Structure 1
Amino acid sequence: MREMSTLSHQHHHVLVLQLILLLPLLHLVVPGTPAAAVKFSDVLASGRNVSDGDVLVSPGGSFTLGFFSPAGATTRRRYLGIWFSVSPDAAVHWVANRDHALNDTSGTLTLTDAGVLLLLDGSGKVVWSSSTTAPPSATTSAAARLLDSGNLVVHGQGSGTALWQSFDYPTNTLLPGMKIGKNRWTGAEWYLLSWRSPADPSPGSYRYVTDGDEALPENVVLDGNGTEVYRTGVWNGRRFNGVPEMASFADMFSFQLTVSPGEVTYGYVAKAGAPFSRVVVTDDGVVRRLVWDAATRAWKTFFQAPGDSCDSYAKCGAFGLCDSNAGATSICRCVKGFSPASPAEWSMREYSGGCRRDVALDCSTDGFAVLRGVKLPDTRNASVDMGVKLDECRARCVANCSCVAYAAADLSGGGCIMWTKPFVDLRFIDNGQDIYQRLAKSETGNLT
């Protein structure tokens, strides 16, 4: 009995120490939470609940799940979310009930024996639920666990397979280990959807998606009408062609682009020792990569797009070339062998009409001029063959009278992209790639 008493006494001290360590954390990250938050665990067992004021904390303390009110909100709407525990601005990366805010602090999260998470209001009405297609026998006595990755995962008893996980239902944030893209077999898609405003996590107008129907995927931002407003440029084997900044933080993260019969997805993994990070699409359609600086206790912006006027999709129209280093009145110009389709519009800085060819082509005598250091144009009107090298790519373009340009698909010179229609969204960029455009022989006299 004395030994049991001693063990109980030691266990009591451990719990008290955990409570003391976590209380300051709660004070930082749970805006609007009642002071009497008492539940600290990474697991929610079936039949139990998390009430407003209680939290789940991942084993290493990296992430917290609980109820919150957005900073700056004018009403006391309550949401169930997961946020970075270290962040004093309560950086929420996932919200369960973004479509159905609670009006008071009576909300409760519970888990059924079938492995379904239910968010209930004070009257017992379900305002949000997860889902599972697993057979009942596999989900008896299920448990939900908040991991140090920020992922909330539901497992059945004795099952190593996740019945449901929050990473499959992203909101506006991409974390290491998550992915966006498409399951080609089921048609399921994963994408980031912005908040309506910084104080309102309900669905906003901008989506950040992996456009993966082509052999060379890229990430794009779409507005509420489905109109493309920004693209990263295609994957070139190491990074997205239009995001040279990726090379500067490759020591922290490994970028993962998966193209297979089953899926086309993009994600990233944090390397050992890397700080906390997140990729966020904001309510005004800006994509930011944010990295936590522990020394200043602040999020640092490592990348932001659109970053300048040339990042606006198809800024200079067909066969237009954007140069952010040019003067404000000459940011757009036409590629070699082309002139503005409407000089009057261009004089008014309206470039969307693009450019038209100065001299008609003659398929048998045409040549090619190289344009170096660019973000390659949109490839949706292009053909891609990853099985050939640049020399073969050129030969194919020469033989196809409809081919207007070609380029290597990756930085090693492998793969072939051929454009047979007017190309758009071409711009100069640091560490860009080369594109070879078809021109009439008479225009330069010495074409390659």
Structure 2
Amino acid sequence: MDTITLTQPVKDGDILVSNGETFALGFFSPGNSSNRYVGIWYNKVPEQPVVWVANRDRPITNSSGILSVDETGNLVLLEKDRSLVFWSTNISGVTNDVSSAQLLDSGNLVLFQGQNREVYSWQSFDHPSNTFLPGMKFGLDRKTGLNRVFTSWKSSGDPGFGDYSYKMEFVGSTQLFLYKGVKKIWRTGSWMGDRWSGIPDMNTKYLYNVTYIDNNDEVVIVDIIRNTSIFSKLVVDDFGTVESTIWQEADRKWVAFWSAPIDRCDGSGGSIGFVGDELSCTDIY
């Protein structure tokens, strides 16, 4: 199944699978941790990286978790006795027991209120973790004020909000910035119509078709993968690196094809996007 309802929840041990079987949703324990989290991961590859986490900073310490739609139309993460709420979509809704959440084949978890399946009231793509997937919007919804920010995990065993964040800013020309805490450490440069000025590798042979949208409703970028049979992701990791990888079926592993920042200490001359001359290697790594 790919749908969650009031009467059809996901319990710890259940797996929700998108219609095309590209993504799965369920409970997991990262690294050597015994804590339980609800996450979404790539389903069709042996190495199944988690691309989204619901309860990042509120783990469940046992296997009693339930992800369900409640009487208010929200998606909620509870323990079996329903005494504690570990995570919720927390939107203003109406009491409606036919509301449902569906895992799409894009990796997006969407919440529908009532029987209207055309308009969703919430989506995981608007609340990213550390991973940017093809089809996601990166940037600002001017109507709601929502600015989608990607934040690293604390560590490989803890998906809580880490030190590094990657977000769009709009002072002067629009740019993407990588932060360590409140310090800017790398930037893409401004948008040049077909690529970011600080990323010359974004040429006509780039893996994605990148669309930049700036209108009254939003200012965002959207990456659409050229070959839809390729699995890909861009991750802000806990070491302060933004890295794009693709699944290489021949080698049966994830292979990096772009990353930033390039280590300015390795003599490669890759410091074009660094922010501030005062930064040292230890500031970044």
Q: How high is the TM-score relative to the length of structure 2?
A: 0.89
Equivalent in the alignment of 2:195: 239
Aligned match for 1:109, one of 67, 88, 106: 67
Report the structure, 1 or 2, having the larger strand content: 2
CA separation of 1:117/1:249 partners in 2, compared to 1, >3 Å: closer, same or farther? farther
Q: Secondary structure in 1 aligned to 2:203?
A: helix
CA separation of 1:144/1:185 partners in 2, compared to 1, >3 Å: closer, same or farther? closer
Equivalent in the alignment of 2:7: 47
The amino acid across from 2:85 in the alignment is V
Q: If you compute each CA radius of gyration, which structure gives the higher value, 1 or 2? A: 1
CA separation of 1:315/1:308 partners in 2, compared to 1, >3 Å: closer, same or farther? farther
Equivalent in the alignment of 2:100: 143
Equivalent in the alignment of 1:130: 89
Q: Secondary structure in 2 aligned to 1:167?
A: helix
Equivalent in the alignment of 1:157: 114
1:194, 1:281 within 8 Å by CA — same for their partners in 2? yes
Q: Deviations over 1:184-235 (max 9, x none)?
A: 3432211101100111101001110011343x312110111x1110001111
Cα deviation for residue 169 of structure 1 reads 0.6
2:6, 2:68 within 8 Å by CA — same for their partners in 1? yes
Equivalent in the alignment of 1:301: 256
Give 5+ residue unaligned stretches, structure 1: 1-40, 318-348, 351-448
Q: Report the Cα distance in structure 1 between the residues aligned to 2:49 and 2:30, rounded to whole angstroms.
A: 10
**Higher mean displacement: 301-310 or 85-94:** 85-94
Q: Give the alignment of 1:278-297 within 5 angstroms.
A: 278-297=233-252
Q: Secondary structure in 2 aligned to 1:246?
A: coil
Q: Secondary structure in 1 aligned to 2:59?
A: coil
Q: Report the Cα distance in structure 2 between the residues aligned to 1:167 and 1:89, rounded to whole angstroms.
A: 22
Equivalent in the alignment of 1:313: 274
Q: Secondary structure in 1 aligned to 2:73?
A: coil
Equivalent in the alignment of 2:34: 76
Q: Secondary structure in 1 aligned to 2:125?
A: helix
Q: Report the Cα distance in structure 1 between the residues aligned to 2:244 and 2:204, rounded to whole angstroms.
A: 12
Equivalent in the alignment of 1:178: 136
Q: Report the Cα distance in structure 2 between the residues aligned to 1:140 and 1:213, rounded to whole angstroms.
A: 44
Q: Secondary structure in 2 aligned to 1:247?
A: coil
Equivalent in the alignment of 1:119: 77
Q: Report the Cα distance in structure 2 between the residues aligned to 1:264 and 1:165, rounded to whole angstroms.
A: 18
**Higher mean displacement: 288-297 or 114-123:** 114-123
Q: Deviations over 1:373-396 (max 9, x none)?
A: xxxxxxxxxxxxxxxxxxxxxxxx
1:83, 1:90 within 8 Å by CA — same for their partners in 2? yes
Q: Deviations over 1:14-42 (max 9, x none)?
A: xxxxxxxxxxxxxxxxxxxxxxxxxxx11
Equivalent in the alignment of 1:260: 215
Q: Give the alignment of 1:21-420 within 5 angstroms.
A: 41-71=1-31, 73=32, 75-124=33-82, 125-134=84-93, 136=94, 139-159=96-116, 160-214=118-172, 216-224=173-181, 226-247=182-203, 249-250=205-206, 252-309=207-264, 310-311=271-272, 313-314=274-275, 316=277
Cα deviation for residue 316 of structure 1 reads 4.2
Q: Report the Cα distance in structure 2 between the residues aligned to 1:249 and 1:113, rounded to whole angstroms.
A: 49
Q: Report the Cα distance in structure 1 between the residues aligned to 2:233 and 2:4, rounded to whole angstroms.
A: 25
The amino acid across from 1:108 in the alignment is I
2:185, 2:276 within 8 Å by CA — same for their partners in 1? no
Q: Report the Cα distance in structure 2 between the residues aligned to 1:131 and 1:173, rounded to whole angstroms.
A: 22
Q: Report the Cα distance in structure 2 between the residues aligned to 1:165 and 1:185, rounded to whole angstroms.
A: 16
CA separation of 1:193/1:269 partners in 2, compared to 1, >3 Å: closer, same or farther? same
Cα deviation for residue 154 of structure 1 reads 1.1
Equivalent in the alignment of 1:429: none
RCO higher in 1 or 2 (8 Å CA, sep ≥ 6)?
A: 2
CA separation of 1:303/1:248 partners in 2, compared to 1, >3 Å: closer, same or farther? farther
The amino acid across from 2:5 in the alignment is A
Q: Secondary structure in 1 aligned to 2:152?
A: strand
The amino acid across from 1:49 in the alignment is P
Report the structure, 1 or 2, having the larger helix content: 1
Q: Report the Cα distance in structure 1 between the residues aligned to 2:203 and 2:69, rounded to whole angstroms.
A: 43
Q: Secondary structure in 1 aligned to 2:201?
A: helix
Q: Secondary structure in 2 aligned to 1:145?
A: strand
Q: Report the Cα distance in structure 1 between the residues aligned to 2:55 and 2:9, rounded to whole angstroms.
A: 16
2:102, 2:109 within 8 Å by CA — same for their partners in 1? yes
The number of residue pairs the alignment matches comes to 272
CA separation of 1:122/1:45 partners in 2, compared to 1, >3 Å: closer, same or farther? closer
Cα deviation for residue 181 of structure 1 reads 1.4
Cα deviation for residue 158 of structure 1 reads 2.8
Q: Report the Cα distance in structure 2 between the residues aligned to 1:314 and 1:110, rounded to whole angstroms.
A: 44
